[in-house]
Amino acid sequence: MNRNDAAARLVNVFRDVFDDDSLTINDNTTSADVEDWDSIEHINLVAAVEAEFGMKFRMREVSGMKNVGEMLDIVCERGN
Residue 45: other Cβ atoms inside 10 A: 21
pTM score, whole prediction:
0.93
Beta-carbon-side half-sphere exposure of residue 22 (alpha carbons within 13 Å): 1
CATH architecture assignment, domain 3-78: Orthogonal Bundle (1.10)
Phi then psi dihedrals of residue 38, to 5 deg: -110, -170
Which tens digit of pLDDT belongs to each residue from 17-60?
999 999 999 999 999 999 999 999 999 999 999 999 999 999 99
What is the reported pLDDT for 79? 83
pLDDT, one tens digit per residue, over 54-77 is 999 999 999 899 999 999 999 999
